[in-house]
Amino acid sequence: MRGKALSATNCSVHHHLRCDLYLHNVYHGSPTVSAVVHQPAELSKAQFERGNDWEATLFSWLDERNMLLTVISRPLDGDDLRELIELDDRDHFFIAGLSFWPPKDKLNAEFARAGTSPVEFGLFKPDLLEICKEEGTVTWKVIDAKASKDVKVKCRSCPAGGIY
């Protein structure tokens, strides 16, 4: 059984299924949920493949425009990520391949301030992190690349804003 942890994928499945029991079972390590999650249906496999193709196309497009920084996926801490961003001289770019742990101490402090029990989150692996540097300020946004024709990302706060 898995330990108590939530990931972006778990939250996404919960949102799609609209099933609080699924979220409860994932968090508490139900063996039934683990078996279902690790054996996707053929339709799900086809959807994942479509998503992977779209992601590869998007990454190629960004790379051709010198807007992509790809890193080897190993968990980074905040200082590593800050250094990575500062070393790049571009004002607007995207980072792919990142993974990092959430700031557990800060999250626990927020839960305590709200008077609730903390929730553990798993390793975070965003598709892309958009980085904008302007006048000494760094702004970053998490991008979840979707193959949907209905879901698009528009960057309005960056100097090179546009639809991706």
**Confidence band (pLDDT; 50, 70, 90) for 67?**
very high
DSSP 157: S
Token pair, residue 55, equals 């992601």
**Confidence band (pLDDT; 50, 70, 90) for 55?**
confident
**Confidence band (pLDDT; 50, 70, 90) for 69?**
very high
pLDDT at 146: 60
Mean pLDDT of 55-71: 91
pLDDT at 148: 54
Site of tokens 């770019």: 93
Asked whether residue 39 carries a pLDDT value surpassing 50, the answer given is yes
Mean pLDDT of 70-81: 83
Asked whether residue 7 carries a pLDDT value surpassing 50, the answer given is yes
How many Å is the Cα radius of gyration of the chain?
18
Asked whether residue 58 carries a pLDDT value surpassing 90, the answer given is no
CA distances from 129 to 41, 96, 110, 160, 162 (A): 30, 7, 24, 15, 16
